[in-house]
Amino acid sequence: MTLTTEQHTIIAGAIRDIPDFPQPGILFKDITTLLNDKKAFATLMQHLSDRYRGYDLDFVAGIDARGFIFGAALAQMLGVGFVPIRKKGKLPYTTVSEKYALEYGVDEVEMHIDAFRGIKDARVLLIDDLIATGGTAYAACNLIDKSGGRCVEACFVLGLEFLPGKAKLSTLTDVYTVIGVS
* Inter-axis angle of helices 38-52 and 5-13, nearest 10: 130
Catalytic residue among 6, 86, 98, 103: 103
For the stretch 126-173, pLDDT in tens is 999 999 999 999 999 999 999 999 999 999 999 999 999 999 999 999
For the stretch 49-108, pLDDT in tens is 999 999 999 999 999 999 999 999 999 999 999 999 999 999 999 999 999 988 778 999
Residue 147 to residues 74, 99, 150, Cα–Cα distance (Å): 22, 14, 9
Q: Note if 51 is an active site residue.
A: no
Catalytic residue among 16, 53, 66, 98: 66
All structural domains of the chain, each given as residue ranges with its CATH number in brackets, are 55-181 (3.40.50.2020)
Q: Note if 66 is an active site residue.
A: yes
Beta strand 81-87 with 59-63 is: parallel
Question: Structure pTM?
Answer: 0.96
